[in-house]
A and B are shown apart, each in its own frame.
Chain A
């Protein structure tokens, strides 16, 4: 019995003893440690040097989007047009396991394109579909295909969306709103006149799209998984008699976009974004006293735009600052681990601030890491927008770095 009581008392005392609580509000200076955390904020105005811009990282046909735009700007109208080629099934079609027939033509066709990005504030959005002359490929330029002349169809997207069931009973066009991905899946019916299956071209067709709207028009079409696709409704010769056949849905063998005017040539400014995408490299002379003996708690890169950012107002784009594994100029391999991003609003000329704390902390932790910042668009060549910043050779508006750091705490000093 006594042992049980002792065990109980022991257990209670043990539980009570297990709890430690030291934390108390400090009443300084009388009952605080003598050492204090010392914060220093410094503006490094001359630490960024040997900066330059490079273009050509991602080309128009390499992006997962086809950009369509019709935007008045300071240098004229920015006109961007998707173009794509869909290879046909050939001049003959398999009718049965033992028989093929010559394709005599197409009764109709249905082209499906997917609008993956649009400005809902843009009204009266027209989509004009043109057939283009073959061939079109990665070397096709704006000048080689524009003006589009062979008009096939014109569709008003807003009108179609307002139709009951989002389907036009007259033209056979329809639109489906993909609420999950916020896409518009547009299905255009091409009648016999527009659906031209030319056997000598193996049924290959090329189309171009031009858009227009009451206000600034800028949208993006998907490609690859997100279209465009074409369904042919063919007439095939079977022992002298035409029979209807529907071959498999065909995807685009080539999809891209062409635009004009092209981006201005690179100069001494630091260009970021655009198509083909441009990167800018900034070399930072990171002060040893910050790197070696302190903890960085905030770092901000200040960049002054040399010109207002180009692009549609609704097409804000994101640029990011990253560091590189090694400094090979424009071909420096980018370190994918850490990146700091900022949204660029076209036509604005405010100073751009990018928080680069994580990058500076990386440099402080790894003294072998090159102290180089690479500015690039987060989505390469998926926006026409481009921004250009003043370089380090512009003394009053050069890139600067503001660093807030903590001096080493004086531990062990009473």
Chain B
């Protein structure tokens, strides 16, 4: 018991004590020119299986229907540190970020309903770009260095409810409030110091609304399917109370399949479609898929997964692609009241001459008091 408490305390410290506390997902250079980098609405458990278990994991905010199987009050949080190499035109830049993409709490209300609240990353908008160039000014070509940064994200605050209609069917729905801000700065430093540095900054605030619904059907013992859909209206960006941009947000739909042939083996697959092309030029509709497995007891399972698909923002006529492999494990403590999940993901994104390779270490903590 004492050991379990110590482990939980260490995990809590790991999740909350890091200074750059951003409730955001995983960055990508592909998101700089677009709206940002979409978040992954998955717990560490689901993400360690490539996301395939997302539709069936009660603590993943991808769907709502699976919440119906949450039997008691449960809180979860996830953190991840990414080491990213961005390679373009033969130049590789090493980048690093720490994110806390999922936090949530769920619990039964009455006998038929389970409600959940929490937040996850909708769009990550943290990046920092430096640029070396020159321009003719006062009759002389003046070299300069630009640095444009964005720090922040759009968060999806979700209030969800689910109910099991029968042994085989559960349904769920949620409302989503999109909120967040980015601190943006634009700096230019001329080599000629008679030109003062340019430094402009602004806080950009974002808002939007969405609704989602989902269904989980048990076709047979050990065989379930899930389906979900979501619609968000638009993302409004405001600078100093003035609307600077309004961008349509995508419709999304997806489904999954779960096969549980035995108590120690679980297999899942999932797919999703998102109409990101509504966001404007340089945005593409995307398909994504995933497949994963979980072996062993629930107290200490081994998880594996792969996923692939498209990235919604990028240069050129085709959407960039991504593929990832992941593995992970978990450990139950305190008589099953606390779970620590660990995951490791290797991701590669390609498109428009850019290749990103990412290692992500994930830590999740789930508590059932």
Contact = CB atoms under 8 A, between A and B. Distances in A.
Interface of A: 2-3, 6-7, 9-10, 13-14, 16-35, 37, 39, 41, 295-298, 355, 357, 361, 402, 404, 406, 408-414
A2 B340 CA distance: 15
A33 B32 contact: yes
B264 interface: no
26 contacts: A6-B7, A10-B10, A13-B81, A13-B361, A14-B17, A14-B18, A18-B19, A21-B95, A22-B126, A22-B128, A23-B93, A25-B91, A25-B93, A26-B131, A27-B353, A31-B32, A31-B129, A33-B129, A37-B198, A41-B138, A296-B196, A298-B194, A357-B196, A411-B186, A413-B244, A414-B34
B138 A295 contact: no
Contacts of B198: 37, 39, 295, 297, 406
Nearest to B126: A22
A32 B352 contact: no
Interface in B142-186: 146-151, 182, 184, 186
Contacts of B186: 35, 37, 409, 411
Contacts of B66: none
A402 B138 contact: yes
Query: What size tier do the contact residues of chain B reach?
Result: 35 or more
Interface string B83-97: 000101101011111
Contacts, number: 180
A32 B363 contact: no
Interface in B14-33: 14, 17-20, 27, 29-30, 32-33
Interface class of chain A by DSSP: mixed
Contacts of A298: 194-196
B279 interface: yes
Contacts of B129: 23-26, 31-33
Contacts of B195: 297-298, 404
Nearest to B136: A41
A297 B200 CA distance: 12
A296 B197 CA distance: 9
B81 A22 contact: no
Contacts of B137: 39, 41, 404
B210 interface: no
B334 interface: no
A23 B128 contact: yes
B130 A355 contact: no
Nearest to B182: A412
A20 B310 CA distance: 26
Nearest 8 pairs between A and B by C-beta? Answer: A30-B315, A412-B244, A412-B237, A22-B128, A412-B204, A26-B131, A26-B129, A10-B10
B6 A17 contact: no
A72 to B, nearest CB: 37
Given A406-B198, A412-B237, A414-B280, 5 more contacts: A21-B95, A24-B127, A28-B131, A32-B32, A412-B202
A16 B199 CA distance: 31
Contact of A17 (B18, B131, B315): B18
B95 A22 contact: yes
Interface class of chain B by DSSP: strand
A64 B363 CA distance: 74
Contacts of B194: 298, 355, 357
Contact of A14 (B7, B13, B34): B13
Given A297-B198, A411-B244, A24 B149 contact: no
Given A20-B98, A37-B146, A37-B198, A2 B3 contact: yes
B204 A295 contact: no
Residue among A296, A410, A412 with most chain B CB within 10 A:
A412
Contacts of A357: 194, 196
Interface of B: 2-3, 6-7, 10-11, 13-14, 17-20, 27, 29-30, 32-35, 79, 81, 86, 88-89, 91, 93-98, 126-132, 135, 137-138, 146-151, 182, 184, 186, 188, 190, 194-200, 202, 204, 237-239, 244-245, 247, 279-280, 314-316, 352-354, 361, 363
B245 A24 contact: no
B315 A31 contact: yes
Residue among A7, A13, A14 with most chain B CB within 10 A:
A13
B181 to A, nearest CB: 10
B354 A27 contact: yes
Contacts of B10: 6-7, 9-10
A2 B153 CA distance: 37
Contacts of A32: 32-33, 129, 131, 148
Contacts of A24: 29, 86, 93, 95, 127-130
B239 A411 contact: yes
Contacts of B138: 41, 402, 404
Contact of A25 (B19, B96, B130, B200): B130
A19 B195 CA distance: 33
A18 B202 CA distance: 25
B66 to A, nearest CB: 29
A20 B137 CA distance: 36
A19 B18 CA distance: 9
Nearest to B236: A412
Nearest to B237: A412
B200 A408 contact: yes
B148 A33 contact: yes
A35 B148 contact: yes
B7 A22 contact: no
A10 B204 contact: no
A20 B96 contact: yes
Given A13-B363, A33-B129, A408-B200, A21 B14 contact: no
Contact of A33 (B150, B197, B354): B150
Contacts of B182: 412
A41 B200 CA distance: 18
B229 to A, nearest CB: 25
A299 to B, nearest CB: 9
A375 to B, nearest CB: 20
Contacts of A39: 135, 137, 188, 198
Residue among A26, A28, A39 with most chain B CB within 10 A:
A26
A411 B130 contact: no
